[in-house]
Amino acid sequence: MSQTTKQIEQKWQKCWEKARLFEADPDLNRQKKLVTFPFPYMNGPLHVGHAFTASRVDAYARFKRMQGFNVLWPWSWHWTGQPLLGASQRVARGDEAYIKVLRDVDGVPEEELKKFVDPFYMAQYYTSEGRSAVKSIGFSVDWRREFTTTMLAFQKFIEWQYANLKEKGYVTRGTHPVVWCPKDQSPTGDHDRQSGEGVTPEEYTLIKYRLDDGRVLPAATFRPETVYGITNMWINPDVTYVEADVNGEIWIISQQAAEKLKEQKHNVTVRCDFLGKELIGKSFTNPITNLTFPILPGWFVDPKTATGVVYSVPAHAPYDYLALRDLQKKPEVLAQFGVDPSMVLAIKPVSIIKVEGFGEYPAAEIVEKMGIADQNDSKADEATNELYKKEFHSGMLKANCGIYASRSVREAKDTLIADFKGLGAADSMYDLKEPVVCRCMTQCIVKILSDQWFLNYSDPQWKELAHQVVAQLTVYPDSAKPWFNTVIDWLREWACARTTGFGTPLPWGKGWIIETLSDSTIYMAFYTINAQITRNIIKPESLTSEVFDYIFLGKGDKTSAAKTADISTDLLDAMRSEFLYWYPFDLRNSAKELVPNHLSFCIFHHAALFPPQHWPKAIGVNGMLMVEGQGMHKSKGNFITLKSAVEKYGADATRCGLLLGAEGMDDPDWRADNINDLKFKFDSLMGFASNIIASAKKADDTPLERWLASRMQQRIKDVTFALDELKTRTALQTALFETWNDLKWYIQRKGSTEAKALGEVVKDWLKLLAPFAPFLCEELWSQTDEAGFISTAKWPIYDTGKVDVIALEQEALVTDVMADTNNILKAMKISPNRIVYYTAAHWKWQVYLKIVEKTLTGEVKINELMREFAADAELKPYMKDIAPLVPRIIKSLTKISGDRKANMAKIGVIDEKTILTDALAFLKDRFNAETAVYSESEAQRFDPKHRATMAMPYQPAIYVE
RNA sequence: GCGGAGGUCGCCAAGCAUGGUCAAAGGCGUAAGACUGAGGCUCUUAUCCCGCAGGGGUUCGUGGGUUCAAAUCCCACCCUCCGCACCA
């Protein structure tokens, strides 16, 4: 009884483990490759997305191992961070919806689920599930180097890293605005939000206009340059405002604003509240120009946005223009507030920005153009956006803008804000453009966190170093390389410590732990020594900074380091040399979503901490896995765990199904039908190859075997080239389908599988497939006469000596003839009884080859050619036939590649009659018709329609009936 | 908005750097045949349109341009997907 896929997989997994096949130790006689995959976060099971990215790493690792490299492919687990804790708390809270997902999607058994109230238990559970899934899919991992990020030894490593970064000045301290949940007392990231995804704090400038009594009206704006164009203030008469002591000044702001400012480093004490209408009609002073303006009622003013105090720039703000116009049309409204309508009527917009395509008053023009009725018209928003954008990008400040006159808005803005603040005329506050609601249903605000620790990715010198890392880095695909540079330029300070979740305590900051994206930037170096740490049971406290300095940087005195650490100098040296052997890493491959964060951080940190010889060698980036055309989400019900995929389809089909999906940065699509199909294909392949291995014993060396061997060489070349570029899809497609098709063709043509040469080709084929479908290949390899594992067999090397261009050309003749025959049959719409081929006469070959030669060397001149032919005694008699032939041949040759023409010239005349005669039985079978072949020059031939004279070299004439 | 990646013959997808070998690989799907008790699987063949003779026509997001020649080069436009920070 034949083994099931599952049995085969388990068998080889055990064999590999027993042979310690993937355990890699330093070996100075061999070149090394350290390949890595970003450790997965353990708040859930591994899924097919992980499998896709890691399959690429594994295929590469296996390929390089077969090429003779000493390959190290380690794996670990990310436990530090917030989500694990959050997940565990949801279980503890009895969150049924969440528990249902764990049960149904993750497949967690009931008795385990209960224990998930302990986050470490949860992590442990997913980690051991994950480990067995990784083994079951056949990743060739050295497990001796495994760790989790909460292990003390690892945390010592992170401490060392951060102490170093701080010493080098890459860690800074400062304040930072975040979206904040007042109830949870923590920042509310996108994933923690009920609504308001993607909303970030935006900074408003507050212009501190002053009432006559000295109280401040801090009007909020994104466009402080418009302070020069103010005509009045808007206060919502129906809204409650407060008078508050803010940093020693008396501010008038909306009630909501007072609460917000308290969280933003403002000292706020509310003294009293009142309705906005009390302010209407009062006048105030512009702190920049010292001019005085009135306060008018504006119902569009939203107390929930910023300060609830807005100043009016009717020349450039559509809302202001509309609101003013509305008031001017309704003097009776003004009268209610005791405002003199004629004063309002006298307000004229003040133009301060010159912008292309608009005249004096852009706001009025755009309102007109879009036909906006009043301040309640929904189109007003659109007009605002359009005009703001336009004025920002191409606006110039006019002469009435003080010292900023004739500067562009875009360029003057930042200095202007700084100047105003310096004068005490402006302040700032943050607010959210749209409401954000936390998962706990609380409305979020902006909080300014103080004494926050940052990695200073803004540091220009650090950026420069990071660019240098990128410059020497190979990126797969190459097109992703510029992306890294733009990300490096774009990254700013990154808060690298937080107060909640799991993580390594910040070495110098009480209560702070290192943020999880910041604790996973150089840990690939830790792999190099972790096997030693475990094997020698090195205590965490022995891993002092002196020890790490010595191991990773060769710094300091090893005797004293060993002494303080209580470990031997030999062991220290062993770790040092192991690090030196493996580092830097040769490949890190991940999905493209990590480019703007993890992978770029990895570059920054290597730049900061390691010398250039230990900088990353190559980074691979791939797309994000889709499932049936959609993004994979637990909530969408299309989440597929790695474990379930392997169980259902087998490891090889899962790996190959994923890898055939896409390469480069394209997103692969997991289609269950395709994977299932592949599973059947592999069953078929097993029988196919097995049969060949058993029967290929006969010494046979015909052009067909040479053709097959030649094709194989081309496949070897292509697969090797593609894998070196991490083009896993191209490589697999060639290795699996194209090569298989070659073999099938050979067997059809040959009619048997007995040739020993075929068996040899199959061995190479299995090797090409082994990085992708290791279990299947290992099984088939064991059926051959070869010893050892295919996983460590020698990768085939492309050998031009094995390429027989004549055999290739001869076989091409057969396929070309078949294609032509098919075309004729299709046009005739018949099934033939008899097919006769006529090969070209020798003199035609002479003519043909002469022309081929000419086209290779340069321009072909017909009259010269004809003269040459006429001079040839052998050709002279045929001149009448040659004349019309020559242009035809020239034309047909334009469709043939230079390489092939060169081959044709080299090969000379091929014996078409023999080739076709040999293929006759095959053709007969294929077309289900009597077949025959004659040479055009044979007098005795069956040729009722006189087709023979149409024969051309490489294009025999065909007669069908 | 900023940044990145893309739009190819029913679907997925190669090709585009180095224009001619491109009606354009491969896989899927579809159709026919073989196998089977029947099916699934597998294998074979076909699969833009026209053509009773190996030929012709129209295709590679849209519109222009360069060229003897463009899926490939240039310009403009339209559309889709992804990332944008304290979060893994």
Task: Specify the nucleotide whose C1' lies closest to residue A678 (CA).
Answer: B27
Q: Which two tokens stand for residue A711?
A: 């094709």
On the CB side of A84, how many CA atoms lie within 13 Å of its CA? 26
> What's the CA gap between A61 and A455, in Å, rounded?
33
Q: Is A935 helix (H, G, I), strand (E, B) or coil?
A: strand
Q: Which residue has the tokens 């403002």?
A: A266
> What's the CA gap between A180 and A186, in Å, rounded?
6
Q: Which residues share a beta bridge with A934? A: A838
> What's the CA gap between A199 and A434, in Å, rounded?
7
> What's the CA gap between A125 and A556, in Å, rounded?
41
Angle, helix A5-18 to helix A119-136, in steps of 10 degrees: 100
**Contact at 8 Å (CB) between A110 and A174?**
no
Our measurement of CA A1 to C1' B41, in angstroms, reads 18
Which candidate, A206, A225, A208, places its Cα nearest to that of A405?
A225
- Rg, Å, chain A Cα set: 39
Our measurement of CA A900 to C1' B21, in angstroms, reads 8
Our measurement of CA A52 to C1' B6, in angstroms, reads 21
The alpha carbon of residue A375 and the mean position of all alpha carbons in its chain are separated, in whole angstroms, by 45
Peptide bond into A477 cis (omega under 30): yes
Our measurement of CA A309 to C1' B15, in angstroms, reads 60
Per DSSP (E only), the strands in A656-754 are: 669-670
Q: Which residue has the tokens 């080299």?
A: A906
* pTM value surpassing 0.90: no
Integer angstrom CA distances of residue A744 from A406, A679, A773: 76, 19, 20
Task: Specify the nucleotide whose C1' lies closest to residue A191 (CA).
Answer: B87
Q: Which two tokens stand for residue A116?
A: 């998930």
Tens-digit pLDDT profile for residues A237-278 = 999 999 999 988 999 999 989 988 888 888 899 999 999 999
Task: Specify the nucleotide whose C1' lies closest to residue A822 (CA).
Answer: B54
ipTM: 0.92
Our measurement of CA A724 to C1' B58, in angstroms, reads 40
pLDDT at A468: 93
CB count, 10 Å around CB of A478?
Answer: 10
> What's the CA gap between A219 and A253, in Å, rounded?
9
Our measurement of CA A3 to C1' B37, in angstroms, reads 27
> What's the CA gap between A66 and A52, in Å, rounded?
21
> What's the CA gap between A607 and A56, in Å, rounded?
26
Our measurement of CA A859 to C1' B68, in angstroms, reads 14
Would you mind telling me the total number of residues written for chain A in this entry? Answer: 961
Those residues of chain A that have pLDDT short of 50 are 1
pLDDT at A792: 97
> What's the CA gap between A728 and A666, in Å, rounded?
12
**What b/e readout covers A482-491, taking b as 16+ CB neighbours within 10 angstroms?**
ebbeebbeeb
> What's the CA gap between A839 and A954, in Å, rounded?
8
Our measurement of CA A668 to C1' B12, in angstroms, reads 9
Q: Which nucleotides of B are covered by protein (CB under 7 A)?
A: 1-6, 12-15, 20-21, 23, 25-29, 41-47, 51-55, 81-88
If you write DSSP's letter for every residue of A801-824 in order, what string do you get? GG--HHHHHHHHHHHHHHHHHHHH
Our measurement of CA A901 to C1' B22, in angstroms, reads 18
> What's the CA gap between A615 and A469, in Å, rounded?
6
CA angle A10, A589, A576 (to 5 degrees): 90
> What's the CA gap between A216 and A205, in Å, rounded?
14
Task: Specify the nucleotide whose C1' lies closest to residue A738 (CA).
Answer: B26
Task: Specify the nucleotide whose C1' lies closest to residue A84 (CA).
Answer: B88
Task: Specify the nucleotide whose C1' lies closest to residue A594 (CA).
Answer: B83
**What b/e readout covers A122-161, taking b as 16+ CB neighbours within 10 angstroms?**
bbbbbbebbbebbbbbbbbbbebbbbbbbbebbbbbbbbb
> What's the CA gap between A381 and A394, in Å, rounded?
20
Task: Specify the nucleotide whose C1' lies closest to residue A496 (CA).
Answer: B86
> What's the CA gap between A616 and A600, in Å, rounded?
11
Task: Specify the nucleotide whose C1' lies closest to residue A836 (CA).
Answer: B53
DSSP A698: B
Integer angstrom CA distances of residue A316 from A204, A727, A931: 18, 54, 87
**What b/e readout covers A217-248, taking b as 16+ CB neighbours within 10 angstroms?**
bbbbbebbbbbbbbbbbbbbbebebbbbebee
For chain A, the distance separating the N- and C-terminal CA atoms, rounded to the nearest angstrom, is 50
Our measurement of CA A946 to C1' B32, in angstroms, reads 34
> What's the CA gap between A734 and A466, in Å, rounded?
37
